[in-house]
Amino acid sequence: MTEYKHILVYGEIIEGQLGAITKELLGGARRLADELGEELHTLFVGSHITGPAREAIAFGADKVYVADNPKLGSYETELYMGVVDGIVGREKPRYLLFGHTDQGADLGPRLAFKLNMAIATDCVELSLEPDTKRLIRIKPVYGGLAMAAYTSDDFPQMATVRPKSLTPAERKDSAQGDLIPLDMDAPLPSSRVTVLERVTEELEGIKLEDADVIISGGRGIGDPEGFKQLEDAAKFLKGAVGGSRIACDNGWLPATLQVGITGKIVAPSLYIAVGISGASQHLSGCSRSKTIVAINKDQNAAIFKYAQYGVVGDWKVVLPTFMDKLKALE
Amino acid sequence: MNIIVCVKEIADPEAPSEDFRLDTDKNVLVASPKVLKVLNPFDEQAVEAALRIKDKVGALVTALSLGKGLDRVVTKKPVFMGADELILLEDDAFAGGDSWSTAHALAAAIRKIGTYDLILCGRQAADWNAGQTGSGIAQLLDLPCVTVARKIEVTDGKALVERVTANGYETVEVTLPAVITVSNEIGQARYPKIQNIRIANKVQPVVWKPADIGMEPLSAGSKGRRLTLQKLFQPVVEGTCEIMQGETVQEMAENLALTLRKAKML
């Protein structure tokens, strides 16, 4: 039997708070840990993060390792990898999980190659094979056209997990766990990558990933002016605007508002897709929305297969009429 | 300045989904003959990034690809776009690999090439969406790696890179040699120019087998895999869309408002 035990989650503190992805990983990993009868551990790397990192206990972690050091203030691959590698070597976790985020998608594969391990990236479902305790990792491939289930034989078994795909852990004040600060006295290696500037291109209004209603435009919108109409609609619906990769690549809206495999993964209550044909890589980013509404003039567009409600018609006619009617119903 | 760009030939990811068929016995997605082979779009943008550097400061750009039975027109596209050389790792033994065996083969080939300042890859391939190869090559060659770049500027043994983040971007400086993976935000890849085509026609691909890069056939391709694909399946799509009815499009649009309001969704 393997000496590898317990699950280790790479945690992230975002703007001074426990990241949403970390709550999701803790939720998913807790269920696996209970099934294994093993513990759930998490590791945080950064500067001034001990306070929010402690929160992970309330979200189900049995042990929270914290590497808190002013020199770790901004994420840099090799620097952070050194810390994670150290813990993995000591802890020998059975599973090692990352979010498929700016950090995790960068760090996970690099560390996997360092550890000589296979990793499955951008997974949406994790389960365990009862006899072997191997981790079954399911992820969309071919832009979401099919799903692949992967296993590997060596430990730690690694994965990065797509945001909004696991059910987040719920906060429990009574939860018990240990906070373990890591000894960070040893000098950190000099880095070959230096972060010079971090720029937030956040727009005013509701954040795309937090919005309850999203109105999204695709190739059919045709120009930036079209997106102004979508913005007005979003404002009225107290929602956010998103777009397909083509819309973003054409510069009709900022790249940070792209919904899809290489953009944001969203799961609002209502997703209104306007002039979006429904390429699998886009659907992969919005298919977890509670309700999808499609407005498209092509009745054969793939988006109608995924939508619960649809209008077949030119959005330039449909959207203004739809909005007028909504306003009249106010 | 020597730049190596890693490119992958894949089935056109923009082809309609009905042109792909899932073969559950063999665990593969089979593309109909209608589906063209193309360069992975992200890799094409990595070629574009290399050529922009070449245009600005001058560089020898080598495209490197891996597979079996590679399409000579598709894999030569980087050369038609303006790359100088083409190396193909082509052998039956290279087929069916995962990120693990692919990164090992590419790293071995890059070691054999020997001189390089910059290695560029697409951020991920549009078929298996793993996004690991760049990081893997960097680790195997002990190089720094910057992933998901939207802009690269090279000066003085360093590259200034804008890296796409969830909320914007970050500017990082990386010492060369380095691996950089390129994202679609870098912009449209150029079309091959007529004047390039004549030059490109003279460029013959150099073909290397596993032995040429010091690789055991047993560690290449499917035999060198570390991830086992247990099952490939297609999620069932319910397909119960309620299409709004009406005499006119306006009426349909009004019905949508009424329906969503009635369902208390808005």
Please indicate, yes or no, whether residues A225 and A91 belong to a single structural domain of this protein. Answer: no
In CATH, what number is assigned to the domain containing residue A172? 3.40.50.620
Two tokens, residue A27: 């939720």
- In this complex, is the C-beta atom of A237 within 8 Å of any C-beta atom belonging to chain B? yes
The pLDDT score that the predictor gives to residue A187 is 79
For the stretch A30-40, pLDDT in tens is 999 999 999 99
Residue in A closest to B125 by C-alpha: A142
The alpha carbon of residue B192 is apart from the nearest alpha carbon of chain A, in Å, by 20
Please indicate, yes or no, whether residues A247 and A136 belong to a single structural domain of this protein. Answer: no
**Contact yes or no for A143 and B169 at CB 8 A:** no
A187 falls within a domain: no
> pLDDT tier at B237 (50, 70, 90 boundaries)?
confident
Please indicate, yes or no, whether residues B6 and B123 belong to a single structural domain of this protein. Answer: yes
The pLDDT score that the predictor gives to residue B171 is 97
A191 falls within a domain: no
How far is C-alpha B44 from the geometric centre of its chain's CA atoms? 7
A198 falls within a domain: no
Among positive and negative, which fits the CA dihedral A77, A15, B152, B45? positive
Please indicate, yes or no, whether residues B128 and B203 belong to a single structural domain of this protein. Answer: yes
Please indicate, yes or no, whether residues B45 and B169 belong to a single structural domain of this protein. Answer: yes
In CATH, what number is assigned to the domain containing residue A316? 3.40.50.1220
Instruction: Give me the mean pLDDT over the B102-120 stretch.
Output: 98
For the stretch B136-194, pLDDT in tens is 999 999 999 999 999 999 998 999 999 999 989 999 999 999 999 999 999 999 998 88
pLDDT at A260 over 80: yes
Please indicate, yes or no, whether residues A165 and A310 belong to a single structural domain of this protein. Answer: no
Residue among A195, A270, A323 whose CB faces B172 most closely? A195
Residue in A closest to B254 by C-alpha: A322
**Contact yes or no for A136 and B165 at CB 8 A:** no
Please indicate, yes or no, whether residues B86 and B153 belong to a single structural domain of this protein. Answer: yes
Please indicate, yes or no, whether residues A23 and A108 belong to a single structural domain of this protein. Answer: yes
For residue B262, the enclosing domain spans: 236-266
pLDDT at B14 over 90: no
Residue among A142, A269, A321 whose CB faces B254 most closely? A321
Strands (DSSP E) contained in B24-92 are 28-31, 37-39, 60-67, 85-90
Q: How far is CA A88 from CA A10, A91, A94, A274, B117, in A?
A: 11, 5, 10, 46, 32
Residue reference for tokens 């919108």 = A221
The pLDDT score that the predictor gives to residue B266 is 87
A161 falls within a domain: yes
A69 falls within a domain: yes
Angle between helices A104-115 and B133-140 (to 10 degrees): 40
- The answer to whether the CB of A284 falls within 8 A of the CB of B224 is no
How many structural domains compose chain B? 2
The pLDDT score that the predictor gives to residue B238 is 67
Mean per-residue pLDDT over chain B, rounded: 95
Please indicate, yes or no, whether residues B212 and B134 belong to a single structural domain of this protein. Answer: yes
Please indicate, yes or no, whether residues A233 and A280 belong to a single structural domain of this protein. Answer: yes
pLDDT at A186 over 80: no
pLDDT at A185 over 80: no
Please indicate, yes or no, whether residues A41 and A164 belong to a single structural domain of this protein. Answer: yes
What single-letter amino acid sits at B157? G
Mean per-residue pLDDT over chain A, rounded: 95
> pLDDT tier at A204 (50, 70, 90 boundaries)?
confident
B231 falls within a domain: no
**Contact yes or no for A314 and B249 at CB 8 A:** yes
B10 falls within a domain: yes
The pLDDT score that the predictor gives to residue A236 is 95
Q: Which residues of A touch B126 (CB under 8 A)?
A: 142-143, 281
Please indicate, yes or no, whether residues B141 and B64 belong to a single structural domain of this protein. Answer: yes
Residue A128, strand partner residues: A135
B contact residues 110-129, partner A, Cβ 8 Å cutoff: 123-124, 126-129
| d(C-alpha A151, C-alpha A119), whole Å | 9
Please indicate, yes or no, whether residues B25 and B62 belong to a single structural domain of this protein. Answer: yes
> pLDDT tier at A1 (50, 70, 90 boundaries)?
low
Instruction: Give me the mean pLDDT over the A232-237 stretch.
Output: 96
Please indicate, yes or no, whether residues B139 and B258 belong to a single structural domain of this protein. Answer: no
The pLDDT score that the predictor gives to residue A205 is 83
**Contact yes or no for A118 and B258 at CB 8 A:** no
- In this complex, is the C-beta atom of B250 within 8 Å of any C-beta atom belonging to chain A? yes
**Contact yes or no for A121 and B13 at CB 8 A:** no
Please indicate, yes or no, whether residues B80 and B107 belong to a single structural domain of this protein. Answer: yes
Residue A137, CB-side half-sphere exposure with 13 Å CA sphere: 28
The pLDDT score that the predictor gives to residue B189 is 96
A189 falls within a domain: no
> pLDDT tier at B67 (50, 70, 90 boundaries)?
very high
Q: Which of A244, A256, A305, A322 to mutate to test the interface with B (most CBs of B within 10 A)?
A: A322
For the stretch B252-263, pLDDT in tens is 999 999 999 999
Please indicate, yes or no, whether residues B130 and B68 belong to a single structural domain of this protein. Answer: yes
**Contact yes or no for B188 and A249 at CB 8 A:** yes
The alpha carbon of residue A127 is apart from the nearest alpha carbon of chain B, in Å, by 13
For the stretch A264-292, pLDDT in tens is 999 999 999 999 999 988 999 999 999 99
In CATH, what number is assigned to the domain containing residue B202? 3.40.50.620
| d(C-alpha B82, C-alpha B65), whole Å | 16
The pLDDT score that the predictor gives to residue B7 is 98
| d(C-alpha A84, C-alpha A82), whole Å | 6
For residue A247, the enclosing domain spans: 208-329
Please indicate, yes or no, whether residues A80 and A154 belong to a single structural domain of this protein. Answer: yes
A300 falls within a domain: yes
> pLDDT tier at B42 (50, 70, 90 boundaries)?
very high
Q: Could you give the percent of chain B with pLDDT greater than 90?
A: 86
Instruction: Give me the mean pLDDT over the B25-34 stretch.
Output: 92
> pLDDT tier at A144 (50, 70, 90 boundaries)?
confident
The pLDDT score that the predictor gives to residue B70 is 97
Sorted by sequence, the CB contacts under 8 Å of residue B161 that are 6+ apart come out as B146, B149, B151, B152, B153, B171, B172, B173, B174, B180
Residue B121, CB-side half-sphere exposure with 13 Å CA sphere: 29
Q: Could you give the percent of chain A with pLDDT greater than 70?
A: 100
B79 falls within a domain: yes
The pLDDT score that the predictor gives to residue A160 is 98
- In this complex, is the C-beta atom of B66 within 8 Å of any C-beta atom belonging to chain A? no
